């Protein structure tokens, strides 16, 4: 058990150390201005990990105080994950101004709808459940994971069509998030069928997947990337036609 706890502590702290490297590379390459939400997400993870671990070690912090801090951190983390999804979408469609403008209200409306669904789902779990906030956050986290997996699949399927190289750091960002989100969804499905003693192992799997995701981000940021491969993209694809039509309608 001691070896498992040591592994847990390593997987808890190591990603935050690597994310400091991610932040440093983004600052050096001036990517923090182009991807402020992804930068903020990594910064929040580093600060949240540091605060949570110090509170965990402190004998003066009660369990209730630790859980309240954890829930606040989880809420902010989930919100930033949604923001990163939108940031990736906005960057991929950066050359399609009309589609990008159309996507903003659609994304905001969908986000509000998902928030309402999460609150309703959490409220209906056990009526006056004292863990209402935790239930709502769980639903929102699952929703963010589903969106990230869907985003990753869409980029895999349409990367050549939209001219996005798999070596681009935008693709790497989505890849890391998608891997982490896929593992979280799989673990969430397994928790209901396992006894409580298996939670530690499942938590280690989730933490390990996040460790791997951070390594993916760091690799893509350090490796040379070609950017959007516009030369090899089909010139008259449907995206361009839709973009032109939306621009024409917006001028009417």
Sequential pLDDT tens for the chain (252 residues): 588 888 999 999 999 999 999 999 999 999 998 899 999 999 999 999 999 999 988 888 888 888 888 888 888 888 888 888 888 877 776 655 555 555 556 556 666 666 666 556 555 555 444 466 666 667 767 777 777 777 677 767 766 666 666 778 888 898 898 899 889 888 887 876 765 556 788 889 999 999 999 999 999 999 875 544 443 343 445 545 544 544 544 454
CA nearest neighbour of 162 among 103, 83, 247, 96: 96
User: pLDDT at position 211, please?
Assistant: 96
User: pLDDT at position 131, please?
Assistant: 61
CA distances from 67 to 70, 72, 74, 98, 107 (A): 5, 9, 10, 44, 31
Q: CATH number of the domain at 2-251, please?
A: 1.20.1070
User: pLDDT at position 97, please?
Assistant: 57
Tokens 């939108």 appear where?
Answer: 86
> Is pTM, for the whole model, over 0.85?
no
Phi, psi of 107 (to 5 degrees): -65, -45
User: pLDDT at position 136, please?
Assistant: 66
User: pLDDT at position 162, please?
Assistant: 60
User: pLDDT at position 229, please?
Assistant: 42
User: pLDDT at position 230, please?
Assistant: 42
- Tokens representing residue 113 in the block: 């709808």
Q: Alpha-carbon torsion 62, 67, 70, 76, what sign?
A: negative
User: pLDDT at position 227, please?
Assistant: 46
């Amino acid at each position: 058990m001691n070896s498992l706890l040591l592994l847990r502590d390593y997987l808890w702290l190591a990603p935050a150390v690597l994310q400091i490297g991610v932040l440093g590379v983004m600052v050096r390459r001036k990517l923090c201005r182009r991807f402020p939400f992804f930068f903020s997400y990594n910064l929040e993870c580093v600060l949240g990990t540091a605060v949570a671990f110090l509170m965990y070690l402190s004998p003066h912090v009660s369990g209730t105080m630790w859980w309240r801090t954890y829930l606040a951190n989880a809420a902010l983390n989930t919100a930033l994950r949604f923001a990163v999804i939108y940031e990736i979408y906005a960057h991929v469609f950066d050359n399609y101004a009309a589609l990008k403008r159309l996507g903003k209200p659609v994304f905001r409306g969908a986000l509000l709808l998902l928030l309402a669904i999460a609150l309703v789902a959490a409220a209906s779990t056990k009526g006056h459940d004292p863990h209402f906030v935790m239930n709502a956050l769980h639903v929102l986290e699952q929703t963010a994971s589903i969106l990230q997996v869907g985003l990753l699949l869409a980029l895999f399927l349409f990367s050549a069509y939209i001219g996005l190289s798999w070596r681009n750091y935008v693709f790497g960002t989505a890849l890391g998030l998608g891997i982490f989100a896929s593992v979280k969804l799989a673990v969430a499905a397994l928790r209901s069928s396992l006894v409580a003693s298996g939670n530690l192992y499942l938590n280690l799997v989730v933490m390990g997947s996040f460790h791997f995701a951070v390594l993916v981000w760091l690799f893509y940021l350090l490796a040379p990337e070609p950017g959007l491969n516009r030369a090899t993209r089909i010139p008259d694809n449907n995206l361009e036609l839709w973009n032109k039509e939306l621009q024409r309608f917006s001028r009417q």
